[in-house]
């Protein structure tokens, strides 16, 4: 099914004189993950807040799971879950009580509530901490509990607003696995992130948001192809071979210390074959070969003309 779960047209939002969203269009197909990538202040969280009915847009239209966010907010609310960058948990309750609270508010009934809570505690590895106050939870545990609370009633569309910001690498990978699991079950996910590797890792499509505008939208590979910088790197056993090869491949640049040659290329099979054929014809042995396609860092830089994203990644 390729119906869209989220449909955004011409979305606008300003706070006073500051334009936060300026004519944003976005389509997220049902059952896919779309990453909204952008630096701090790009408008990612505002977009998610509008789509989850927390904030009213100034203009444009947005539907989530077929319901208009302004005209039918309750319809939207019934089908979504939001896990924000600030944990939406009740700090004065235990993990189990938090989940039970959600189950009651979703009207699951006493018996199903109890089963569902047990299930989620196991799935999110929170069984041992279930009866402990949240003050004793680590950042990763809180984030897992937060997501578990969102999933009490299996929403159709889930918004994850910077789900791994501030988590250690292990917790990050756990979170990624959970998101993949959700998508495998058919949930639609809109994820905001400032981590390029996260978008690359999880998303089917990436929309790059910068200064309140979508500046690019496509699959991770499509975005990478947008920018120059791809190349093939060849290493040779000795200097003679290196220089012969350098003579054959005119556009290449030479690195005498590494005995390496860098050949600009789009990274495609055809370009690679051409390079290898000409080396074969000259009977040159290649010691090592690697293909470098531009990463999202390059994409980001090329699209926004800034390097903020690299900063944000550290």
Q: Judged by CB under 8 A, which stretch of 45-53, 194-202, 225-233, 262-270 contacts another protein?
A: 45-53
Q: Any contact of residue 191 with another protein (CB under 8 A)?
A: no
Q: Any contact of residue 271 with another protein (CB under 8 A)?
A: no
Q: How far is the CB of 202 from another protein (least distance, A)?
A: 22
Q: Any contact of residue 136 with another protein (CB under 8 A)?
A: no
Q: Any contact of residue 231 with another protein (CB under 8 A)?
A: no
Q: Any contact of residue 101 with another protein (CB under 8 A)?
A: yes
Q: Any contact of residue 187 with another protein (CB under 8 A)?
A: no
Q: How far is the CB of 118 from another protein (least distance, A)?
A: 17
Q: Judged by CB under 8 A, which stretch of 26-34, 50-58, 263-271, 280-288 contacts another protein?
A: 50-58
- Enumerate residues 6+ apart whose C-beta is below 8 A from 179: 33, 160, 163, 189, 191, 202
Q: Any contact of residue 91 with another protein (CB under 8 A)?
A: yes
Q: Which residue in 23, 58, 90, 197 binds another protein (CB under 8 A)?
A: 90
Q: Which residues bind another protein (CB under 8 A)?
A: 45, 49, 52-56, 74-82, 84, 86-93, 97, 101, 104-109, 112, 133, 146, 149, 153
């Amino acid at each position: 099914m390729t119906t869209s779960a989220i449909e955004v047209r011409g979305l606008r939002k300003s706070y006073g004189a500051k334009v936060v969203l300026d004519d944003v269009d976005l389509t997220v197909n049902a059952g896919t993950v779309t990453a909204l990538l952008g630096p701090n202040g790009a408008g990612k969280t505002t977009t998610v807040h509008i789509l989850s009915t927390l904030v009213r847009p100034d203009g444009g239209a947005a539907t989530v799971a077929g319901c208009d966010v302004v005209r039918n907010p309750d319809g939207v609310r019934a089908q979504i879950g939001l896990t924000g960058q600030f944990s939406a948990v009740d700090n004065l309750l235990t993990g189990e009580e938090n989940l039970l609270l959600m189950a009651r508010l979703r009207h699951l009934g006493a018996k199903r509530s109890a089963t569902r809570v047990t299930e989620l505690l196991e799935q999110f590895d929170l069984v041992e901490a279930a009866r402990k106050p949240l003050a004793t939870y680590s950042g990763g545990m809180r984030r897992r509990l937060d997501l578990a609370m969102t999933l009490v009633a299996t929403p159709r569309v889930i918004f994850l607003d910077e789900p791994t910001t501030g988590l250690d690498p292990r917790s990050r990978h756990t979170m990624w696995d959970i998101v993949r699991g959700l998508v495998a079950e058919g949930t639609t996910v809109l994820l905001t992130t400032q981590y390029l590797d996260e978008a690359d890792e999880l998303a089917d499509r990436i929309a790059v948001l910068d200064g309140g505008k979508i500046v690019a939208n496509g699959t991770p590979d499509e975005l990478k192809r947008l920018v120059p910088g791809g190349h093939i790197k060849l290493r040779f056993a000795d200097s003679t071979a290196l220089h012969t090869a350098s003579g054959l491949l005119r556009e290449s640049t030479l690195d005498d210390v590494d005995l390496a040659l860098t050949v600009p290329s789009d990274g495609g099979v055809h370009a690679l074959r051409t390079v290898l054929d000409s080396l074969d014809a000259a009977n040159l042995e290649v010691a090592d070969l690697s293909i470098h396609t531009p990463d999202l860092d390059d994409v980001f830089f090329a699209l926004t003309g800034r390097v903020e994203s690299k900063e944000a990644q550290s």
